[in-house]
Chain A
């Protein structure tokens, strides 16, 4: 199974229509990857669907970078008993 990091990058690339190879962990979703507000919401929805989790929207939308998203999703998966 691909890692959480690979899956986060794949979802990000799909939603923001980017080449996965261009996405780095330190990239900010908004300033580096150009995510607009509606796309932020789409990212949250797609992460939830990808991992089968429910994320608190305030907490999820406060995540700034790809690396932080990997950490946050890993933690939510653990809390919700989801294998990731």
Chain B
């Protein structure tokens, strides 16, 4: 069976703004692994191919080595086509069975299982054609297919998912090095220190309320306290961090200060003190010293998030922190409001007050307003430097992808820049 992951350019994609602007939704993390890894673990395909928005295809192809947007991958095999938003563990369709489709409430195909014999009767010239043909020709399953709807769904579910992933992976014990004196609370069976991981002296690992997984090459510096459930990705470093429960930290991060129930995609820094809670942080983000986000309103009401610059979405949760896009950098003392949505490629200068809840992509937020700043070229130069420091390359494909993102996010940015300009001019009169 060939698993086809798809992330179609539907309006619902924007529910995963700004994180999914530069990656397919299935690359988002929840628990120890990404959504794709969960789908692959569930269905155990012989092959995997994928379809995603064309503007990110070259970057994703280079990073993943996956077959991307290739119509040939839609022929010659039993296929299981799965929307990136499908919750792997709760999908009612098994890998094998009669050809069937599962639709969401809007009639969009979430899953299509198509046996080779039936596939020969359907149009396979492209993903859209195949999904349309499958929807028209195949019976639909009666059960609903649970799906992720927003980025904060992943954040809120991640702590529980870490526990499930830990059990599914089935690893425990100390294969790396734990230097004494260190304190381990809870069961040793709920801790895994992978080969090459190093825990310095004076570290507390508290697995009483959930497992702690320190992946290969991770390092935990003295005076760090890690509460489970927690996952620390490959080569990430915790620097005296107060790592409270429920964090999923991707590879190559450098983290200090207080972090709670947050997801950090990878390659991001939060070296210093400051609180990050119920947040989703992209890649190549740098949070300056004392950058702090609110994740709880003073009146304990549900947090709302503005993803498009206009419409507030009630998250249904009293705890939601910031969504911070790739390559965004914050100054010392930046304060993010509850449920802030901070675009990718932003440069944020703190004002001493909580910032607006919505900051569009490619914003230079200075003096309390969104400006054009020094333009995208300067941001690209910074991105190139930041990636180079971790031996990663900023490629022409990256630049082309970000140029496209610059265009598709232009409207919200122009609006914010015009408003900022008026405020600046008025202030100086």
Q: Which residues of A pack against B, CB within 8 Å? A: 14-15, 37-38, 41-42, 44-46, 48-50, 56-58, 61
Contacts and interface: CB of A to CB of B under 8 A. Distances in A.
Contact of B374 (A45, A49, A61): A61
A27 B366 CA distance: 25
A45 B424 contact: yes
Given A41-B364, A41-B366, A57 B424 contact: no
10 contacts: A14-B428, A42-B366, A44-B371, A46-B425, A48-B421, A49-B421, A49-B424, A57-B373, A61-B374, A61-B375
B373 A41 contact: yes
Interface in B7-51: none
B428 to A, nearest CB: 5
Task: Point out which of A50, A56, A57 has the most chain B C-beta atoms below 10 A from its C-beta.
Answer: A57
B429 interface: yes
Interface in B388-429: 417, 420-422, 424-425, 428-429
Given A41-B366, A41-B372, A58-B377, A14 B429 contact: yes
B366 A57 contact: no
A51 to B, nearest CB: 11
Interface in B181-225: none
A57 B406 CA distance: 14
A49 B425 contact: yes
B372 A49 contact: no
A49 B426 CA distance: 10
> Which of B364, B367, B374, B377: most chain A CB closer than 10 A?
B374
Contacts of A45: 371-372, 417, 420-421, 424-425
Contacts of B422: 49
Contacts of A50: 425
Nearest to A44: B372
Contacts of A44: 371-372
A6 to B, nearest CB: 16
Contact of A58 (B349, B371, B375, B424): B375
Q: Which of A15, A37, A42, A46 has the most CB of B within 10 A?
A: A42
A56 B375 CA distance: 8
Instruction: Tell me if A's interface is mostly helix, strand, loop or mixed.
Output: helix
A79 B52 CA distance: 39
Nearest to B371: A41
- Chain B interface size, under 10 / 10 to 19 / 20 to 34 / 35 or more: 10 to 19
Contacts of B429: 14
The majority secondary structure among interface residues of chain B is mixed
Contacts of B428: 14-15, 42, 46
A55 to B, nearest CB: 8
A80 B364 CA distance: 24
A35 B53 CA distance: 43
Given A41-B373, A50-B425, 12 more contacts: A38-B366, A41-B372, A42-B366, A42-B428, A44-B372, A45-B371, A45-B421, A46-B421, A48-B421, A49-B422, A49-B424, A57-B375
Contacts of B349: 38
Nearest to B349: A38
B372 A57 contact: yes
A29 to B, nearest CB: 14
A14 B429 CA distance: 7
A57 B367 contact: no
A66 to B, nearest CB: 17
Contacts of B377: 58
Contacts of A58: 375, 377
Nearest to A17: B428
Contact of B424 (A37, A46, A56, A61): A46
Q: List the 10 shortest-distance A-B pairs measured between CB atoms, nearest first.
A: A57-B375, A49-B425, A57-B372, A45-B421, A49-B421, A58-B375, A45-B424, A14-B428, A41-B371, A46-B425
Nearest to A40: B374
Contacts of B425: 45-46, 49-50
A48 B420 CA distance: 11
A14 B426 CA distance: 11
B376 to A, nearest CB: 8
A56 B377 CA distance: 11
B367 A42 contact: yes
Contacts of A42: 366-367, 371, 424, 428
Nearest to A57: B375
Contacts of A37: 374
Contacts of B366: 38, 41-42
A14 B422 CA distance: 15
A2 B156 CA distance: 58
Most buried by A among B377, B422, B424, B429: B424
